[in-house]
Amino acid sequence: MSDENKQLRAAIDCMHTPIYIKDLDGRYLYANDVACAMRGLPRDQVIGKRDVDLFPPAAADIIRSHDQQVISSGQPATLEAFLPSLGHEGVRCYLSFKQALLDEAGQVNAVAGIAVDIDERKRKEDELEALKNRFAATLQAIPDLMFEVDLEGRYHAHHVPREDWSLVAPSKLLGRSIREVLPAPAADICYQALQEALENGFSIGHQYRLDLERGPEWFELSVAQKTPVADEPPRFIALSRCITRRKVAEQALQESESMLRAIVDNTPVAYWARDLDGRCIMENATAVQFVGSQLGKTLEESGWQEDDVSVWLAQNRRAYAGEVVEVEYESYSLRHGALRVFHVVLSPIRAGDAIVGIVGFSQDITERKRHEQRIHQLAFFDPLTQLPNRRLMFDRLEHALATSTRHRRMGALLMIDLDHFKELNDTHGHTTGDGLLVEVAARLGRSIRQGDTTARLGGDEFVVILEDLGGAQGSPVQAAAIATKIRDALNQPFQLAAGPQGEAITYHCSASIGVALFGDVETSATELLRRVDTAMYQAKAAGRNTLRFFDPAMQAAASARAAMNADLHEALGLGQFELHYQVQMNEQRQPIGAETLLRWRHPQQGMVSPASFIALAEDTGLIVPLGNWVLETACRQLATWSKHPELAQLSLAVNVSARQFRQLNFTDQVQQLLVSTGAPASKLKLELTESTLIEDADAVVQRMEELQALGIRFSLDDFGTGYSSLAYLKRLPLAQLKIDQSFVRDLLTDHNDAAIVKTIIALGNSLGLDVIAEGVETEAQLAFLAEHGCREYQGYLFSKPVPLAAFEHLLLAMSTHPPSQKICH
């Protein structure tokens, strides 16, 4: 093979088009690289093979048929065939150019072919044909008149599905202008639409009327400018839709809407509607009278209060979700200039299965609600006292019983009967008696907790339902405390109007109170009422103006508390209280003062621990006069010591309760005591617990500063066990921090207690405060405290709290036998 033939062969091998030669039996004599790659085979596996060896049978038959056609005719042929091709899914379309090859004798001895992949072109041709078919079908399906016109309004093409819609036969439209075809009013509208389309690219919504043989018809015009071709003048596609039926329907709808608007505007119910954007699209006159016009506004743009907007946005969301919403709502009415109650219904507006908006109805039901409230008041409330009557009380009692049993929380029922009420009625008349009942109801309301119920059974009998009193052990005490509070409130004098002239009288009232607990076992309301009635009569039998529990065991607990309360009141007047003194020492083991501790020497029970009566004194308010006695006694003792040089340097620490400290005249009382007793203010130290600082800190600080100005010092008792707010601590005019004995007790064995103690000492020293530790019982504890900077101590290591005589004897002994050395640290 010559060099030129080799080059030609190499070029053909590399061409991107399949080229091949086959003999008369269809065997491949030559195939270039692309032809081989089409089957994914190397050339040596293609040469000598026939199409049936390389293609599926159906494709091989088509190829062989085409080859036979060329062989038999000796003429070239161009054929299309869909053949499988490696690297492509399915088959692809190829355009084959086949040529018969002749031998020297001029006989066909082979077929040469070139296959061109025209699959993409073929597909585009098919798509174009389909598109043309769809366009033709679409055009035929359009029921509207369609024209192609130029800017002068001359017709260049048309689609007229109904000739009776045209004033001129369609065959006579081409070349004529709109003014030559349509009457002037309609033509003017068409030219206006053409001008808009020229300026904006399109025009929609113009309507015109034609008087045709069959009657008047209305058309709506839509015009769009065609994309210009080269220098061709602008042309337009005009679509003219017959809207006669719509116009008739619109007119009928307009008439119907006018009638509906007249009806809606003259009804006393407010109507409105909102679209999916929340914008008001309809409202009647009543709605405008109530809230002003909201047309075109969203709720956020309504000008309503923010809370009202939030409420109605939430309700509207429910309606938009498909729910019918009914609510009663109180709102300001422009019509009435006041708050009114409205019954509002919100409902979705549905168009088929879709929600397209919401509609609302609002009716003023203020008067109806007033009537309902009056009926409810008469049915469930006592008209004289406005308290729940027997019927409502019974319902609430059953609910309280169920709740108490379910949550295992105790409750109590109190029955209160006014003692000698009949005598008041007989003496001063029923009007005066009614006045007492009203006042009693008011005092009962002020004596119970929020959430408890007071009711009037009738006559002079009242009932109180107490819920959530806690467990079985504490509930009798709580019930007794509230019952006692009620009794004491009713014991206060009443100022009543009596006689024809309504002259004022002072009336002293008492009450017998029965108490029945519930919640531990299931009990009916009827049975509980029977029990409390029995207990109330037991109270009357016991002499009136007292209370009795239905359960004897619980009665014992309540009686014991009541007895202690009575004894407490007597003890102060009978001088049964006394002060004990516990010495306080410095680091040289020298006494620097004492803490006063209250003791009660009961005539029958002996010495009563403060833990047994201080809490009761707090609850009953007796802590205030008791605290005043302690403070006065301490001041008198300081005044006495000030006259003896060996005792004049001693200070006294007095505990002051939060309740006593918050008395408005506390500062004045202390100042008067200092003046009247002659006690040195600098030796009086008031110990306040952290609970005193929790409420109204500013007032506490102010009072402390007032007392500090008198020379009095302050110690913060039990530091670290309660509130411990450093923010308040730095504001308080303190002189001393007292480490609670609970930390001192285990500071040698508990790392946490030791850390707390060291922290308190460091804090006090950094703030320039003295630090005293209470509860010091061992030398090891004392050494630890001293080592870490605590310089003052109090505890059994030095002395227990002792009476005055024993304390002064202790001081004498310490002065006679002073310690040999100070505490090492």
Query: pLDDT by residue (tens digit) across 508-530?
Result: 999 999 999 998 888 899 999 99
Q: Which has the higher per-residue pLDDT, 158 or 585?
A: 585
Confidence of residue 554 (pLDDT cuts 50, 70, 90): very low
Backbone φ and ψ for 66, nearest 5 degrees, come out as: -65, -40
**371: region left, alpha or beta (phi > 0 left; psi from -120 to 50 alpha):** alpha
Query: DSSP per residue over 328-359, as a string?
Result: EEEEEETTTTEEEEEEEEEEEEEETTEEEEEE
**The pLDDT of residue 325:** 92
Quote the pLDDT of residue 559: 60
What pLDDT is stored for residue 806 in this prediction?
Answer: 94
User: Tokens in use for 214?
Assistant: 């069959």
Percent pLDDT > 90 in the chain is 37
The pLDDT of residue 86 is: 62
Backbone angles phi, psi at 745, to 5 degrees: -55, -45
3-state secondary structure of 176: coil
Q: What is the pLDDT of residue 819?
A: 62
Looking at residue 808, its pLDDT comes to: 92
Beta bridge partners of 498: 503
Give the mean model confidence (pLDDT) for residues 481-507. Answer: 89
Q: Sign (positive/negative) of CA torsion 166, 167, 173, 175?
A: negative
Nearby residues of 326 by Cβ (< 8 Å), 6 or more positions away: 343, 344, 345, 346
Tokens of 255: 């008439």
Per-residue pLDDT band for 552 (boundaries 50, 70, 90) equals: low
pLDDT of residue 557: 53
Name every residue whose Cβ is closer than 8 Å to that of residue 656 and which is 6 or more positions away in sequence: 627, 631, 686, 687, 688, 692
Share of the chain above pLDDT 70, in %: 93
Residue 110: phi and psi, rounded to 5, are: -165, 170
Q: What is the mean pLDDT of residues 143-156?
A: 84
pLDDT tens-digit readout, 642-657? 999 999 999 999 999 9
Using 50, 70 and 90 to split pLDDT, how confident is the model at 784? very high
Identify the residue whose tokens are 């005539």: 603
8 Å CB contact between 544 and 510: yes
Task: Identify the bridge partners of residue 275 per DSSP, sorted by sequence position.
Answer: 357
pLDDT at 823: 57
Range with lowest mean pLDDT among 327-341, 444-458, 522-536: 327-341
Instruction: State residue 429 phi and psi, 5-degree precision.
Output: 100, 160
Question: Cα separations (Å) of 81 from 78, 84, 724, 773?
Answer: 10, 10, 97, 110
Mean pLDDT of the chain: 86
Alpha-carbon distances of 133 from 129, 137, 162, 682, rounded to whole Å: 6, 6, 22, 114
pLDDT digits (tens, 9 = 90+) for 249-264: 888 888 888 887 777 7
Q: Would you say residue 621 has pLDDT above 80?
A: yes
Comparing 63-67, 372-376, 671-675, which segment has the lowest mean pLDDT?
Answer: 372-376
Query: Looking at residues 701-723, what average pLDDT do you find?
Result: 86
State which amino acid sits at residue 101: L
pLDDT exceeds cutoff 90 at 40: no
Position 391 pLDDT exceeds 50: yes
Q: Say whether pLDDT at 87 is over 70.
A: no
Residue 291 CA to residue 313 CA, distance in Å, equals: 16
Q: Is the pLDDT of residue 493 over 60?
A: yes
Assign 2 a pLDDT band (cuts: 50, 70, 90).
low
Whole-model pTM over 0.85:
no
